[in-house]
Chains A and B, each alone.
Chain A
Amino acid sequence: MSLYRTELRRLGKRRFTRYMTLLGLLVLAAVIASAFFTNQKVGPDQIAAAEREAKANYQQAVRDTEQARTECERVKADGGSVSSRGFPENCAEIMPPPPEAFDPQWSLPPTFRFHEDFGETLLTFAMLLAVVGFVVGASYVGAEWNTGGMMNLLLWRPKRLTVLLTKLAALLTGTAVVTVLAAALWTLCFWLVGHFRGTTTEVTPGLWRSLGLTELRALALVLAVTTVGFAVASLGRHTAFALGGAMAFLVVGQYGVAIALSLADVRFPDAWLVPTYAMAWIKKQVTLQDYQACIATPTGGCMPDELTITWQQSSLLLGAGLMIALVAAMWAMRRRDVA
C-alpha cells in the first residue's frame, strides 16, 4: 500500500504528467469554447430571418429559371442547338423548383441540441483523453526505465511484477480520476452550451442513462489505451519505444493498410482499421457502407451494402490488444535482466 501511495505521489509530481494533462484539458476547453461561439439560440427572430432567407432564395431561383428559359428560347429562335448549351429541347420544361424545396430550416443558424448533439461530442472527448493517457502512461514508466529510477526501486522492492503492476494501478487511478472529473465538467459545460446557445429540452432519464453508459465506455477506452502505452513503453524500456511504435502503427498499420485495401478494391476497408472499432465502442455501433454494391429495393432503387460493427465486437478486439501488450510487458519484466 505504501508503494501504491508513493507511486501516486510520484505520478502527480512529474512535470510531464501535469503539462500533458493541462494540455489535454485546454484542448477540451477549446472544443467547448468553439461549440459555444459557433452555435446560437434559435428564437422567433432567427426563424423569421430564416424564412426571409428561404423566400429570397426561392425568388432568386425563380429569376434564374426565367432567365434560363428566355435564353433557351432565344437560342432556339436563332436556329441554334439548345442541347449544346445544356437546355432541354422544349424550353417550357425549364421550371423553377417548388417553394417547399426551400425549407427555412436550412437557413437557421447552427444551434446546440443537447439531446442530439452531446453524444457525438463524447467521441472527441474519449479520443483526446486516450491520446493523453497513452503519452502519459508511456512516459511515466519509460522515463523510470531510462533514468534508472526503476532499477533504484527494484533495489528497494525486489518484486518485479508487484512493482510494475503497482505503478500501473497508480497510473490508472490517476487517469480515472482525471477522466471522471473531466467528463463531469464536459457534460456540465455542454449543458450550459445547450442552455445558452441551443436547447436542453427533450432530455429524458433514458437519455441520461444512455449518456452515462457512453461516458463509462469512454472511461474504459481511455484506461485501456493508457495501459497499452504503459505496457509498450515498459516492454521497450523507453518512452520513445511506445511513441515511435504508435506512430509506426498509425502510418504503416493504418494509413498504409487503408491505401493498400482501397487499391485492392476490398469491400469495407474501414473494417480493418482500429479507429473504426474505437468509434464503434463509443457510439455502440458503426455502420459501414459499400457504395459499389447494389442491393435492390422493392421500389426498384439501389441501396449500398452495409456492415455493422457493434461495441461487443470492438470490446473483443480492443481487449485482445490490451491483453497482448500487458502480458508481454509482464513477461519481459519478469524474465529480462535489468542492466
Chain B
Amino acid sequence: MSAVLEIEGLRKTYKSRRRGTRNALDGFDMRVAAGEVHGFLGPNGSGKTTTLRTLLGLIRPDGGRMSVLGHEVPAALPVVAGQIGAIVESPQFFPHFTARDTLDLLAGAGEVPRRRVDEVLEQVGLRDRAGERVKTYSLGMKQRLAVASALLKDPKLLILDEPANGLDPGGIREMRTLVRDLAAGGMTVLLSSHILGEIQLICDSVTIISLGRRVAYGPVSEVLAEHSHGSVRVRLESPTDLPSAAELLDRAGIKVTAQADHLMLAGVEKPAMVSRLLADQGLYVSELAPVAADLESVFLDLTATAPVPGQHRQVDQSTKVGDREVTKGGWGA
C-alpha cells in the first residue's frame, strides 16, 4: 500500500546555555499507509507533538526528511496543506467567538465552501450549540470543535492529537465510530492518544516513540504478537501439584509466577513442550492457554514506563532504542 506519510531520520535538537542540549527527536522514522488508521504512541515528552508540529511546518527540523501525500515537506506544505486536517495538542480557540464564527473564519481563510461548516458541526454533534461562545464550552465540546475544524477541509490525511481528551464515554465511542467511518471512506487517520484501549480497538497499525526514537511499529496484531514474550497460563488437574510443577518448570529455564490456582509462564516458545514436560512427571494439565498481551502492557514494557512501587518516574525517564535500557533523558542528555 502506498505511503501517505513518511518520515526518515527526523531530528530536532533544543539547545540551552543553562540546560545543555536535548534531542527531542533523535533520528525518528515513521510510515503511514494510505487508508489506514495509524496510532502514534509515546510517553509524555517522548516527541509525539514535536513530530506532528514539525510535520505541519510549525517547528523547523534539524535533519531528516518528511513527505506527505508524495510531497516533500515542509517545502511543499503550501501545496498539500489543503489536504491535511490537523489538531495539535489541546484545542485552542478565540474564546469570544462562537463555534460557527470560528469555523466560518477558518473556512474563509482556507477557501472552503461555507456549507462544510454546517456539515462538520453536524458530524461532531455541535449543531445545536454552534451559536454559543467557545468560552462557554466544556473541554469535550472544545475537542469536538477542534475535530470539526480539522474535518472542514475534507482532508485526505487527518492528524488528531489526543482527540478523546475531555470526552465523556459516549463521546469517546462517537469519536471511535467517526474515525472508523472516515477511514472507511478512504481517509488516512494518524491518531495520537494515551487511551491505549481505544488505539487497540480502532487502529490498523501503530508507531511507538520513546525519547525521540521509534521503538516499535507495524500492524497492531504484529506488534502485540512480537512483544507477548510467550506468556502461557497453566492449570493442573490437581492444584496441590502446582508447587512441584513450578519447581520443575523453573529447572527447565522457564520463568514461572505462581498464582493461587494457576501458574503464569513467560518466555515459552512452544506451549506443547510444557505439556510434555509436566506429563513426563505425572502432572496433568487441565488448561494450557497462551495469553495475548494488550497494547498497554506492550507500551509500558517497550517504553519502560510501568509504575514501580516506591519509585517516582520522571517525565523523561523511558527507554532509548538501541540499548533497551531505561535512560534518563531530558536536558543535558
Interface residues of A (CB under 8 A from B): 2-3, 5-7, 9-10, 13-15, 143-144, 147-149, 151-159, 335, 337-339
Contact = CB atoms under 8 A, between A and B. Distances in A.
Given A147-B94, A148-B92, A9 B60 contact: no
Nearest to A144: B94
7 contacts: A6-B109, A143-B94, A151-B58, A154-B58, A157-B81, A158-B57, A338-B59
A9 B110 CA distance: 14
A155 B92 contact: no
B56 A158 contact: yes
Given A13-B97, A14-B96, A337 B111 contact: no
Nearest to A5: B108
A156 B59 contact: no
A297 to B, nearest CB: 63
A336 to B, nearest CB: 9
A110 B65 CA distance: 75
Interface string B53-85: 100111110000000000000100110010010
Contact of B93 (A147, A159, A339): A147
Given A9-B105, A15-B96, A143-B94, A155 B81 contact: yes
A252 B149 CA distance: 45
A63 B117 CA distance: 87
Given A151-B92, A158-B57, A339-B53, A6 B105 contact: yes
Nearest to A14: B96
Interface residues of B, number: 29
Nearest to A7: B109
B94 A339 contact: no
A83 B91 CA distance: 86
Q: Give the residue among A143, A156, A158 with the most B Cβ atoms within 10 A.
A: A156
B37 interface: no
A3 B81 CA distance: 15
Nearest to A159: B78
A15 B135 CA distance: 14
Contacts of B111: 2
Main secondary structure of the interface of B (DSSP, over half): loop
Contacts of B81: 155-158
A311 to B, nearest CB: 39
Contacts of A159: 78
B120 interface: no
A13 B101 contact: yes
Contacts of A6: 105, 108-109
B106 interface: yes
B88 interface: yes
Contacts of B88: 151, 155
A18 to B, nearest CB: 11
A338 B58 contact: yes
Contacts of A144: 94
Interface in B103-149: 105-106, 108-111, 149
A215 to B, nearest CB: 33
B71 to A, nearest CB: 12
Interface string B288-324: 0000000000000000000000000000000000000
B332 interface: no
Contact of B109 (A151, A153, A335): A153
B110 A157 contact: yes
Q: Give the residue among A143, A147, A153 with the most B Cβ atoms within 10 A.
A: A147
A157 B59 contact: no
Nearest to B109: A6
Given A14-B96, A147-B93, A148-B93, A155 B108 contact: no
Nearest to B101: A13
B58 A156 contact: no
A2 B108 contact: yes
B267 interface: no
A261 B94 CA distance: 45
Given A158-B57, A337-B60, A339-B58, A147 B105 contact: no
Contacts of B56: 155, 158
B108 A147 contact: no
Contacts of B60: 335, 337
Contacts of B93: 147-149, 152
Given A337-B59, A337-B60, A338-B59, A156 B109 contact: yes
A73 B46 CA distance: 102
B35 to A, nearest CB: 22
B242 interface: no
Given A3-B109, A158-B81, A339-B58, A147 B101 contact: no
A10 B105 contact: yes
B41 interface: no
Q: 6 nearest interchain CB pairs?
A: A148-B92, A6-B108, A338-B58, A158-B77, A156-B110, A337-B59
A158 B59 contact: no
B265 interface: no
Nearest to B82: A156
A240 to B, nearest CB: 17
A279 B92 CA distance: 42
B59 A154 contact: no
A337 B92 contact: no
Contacts of B96: 14-15
Contacts of B109: 2-3, 6-7, 153, 156-157
A6 B88 CA distance: 23
B95 interface: yes
B86 interface: yes
Contacts of A5: 108
Contacts of A152: 92-93, 106, 149
Given A9-B105, A147-B95, A158-B81, A339 B110 contact: no
Contacts of A3: 108-109
Given A2-B111, A337-B60, A339-B59, A158 B94 contact: no
A91 to B, nearest CB: 79
Contacts of B78: 157-159
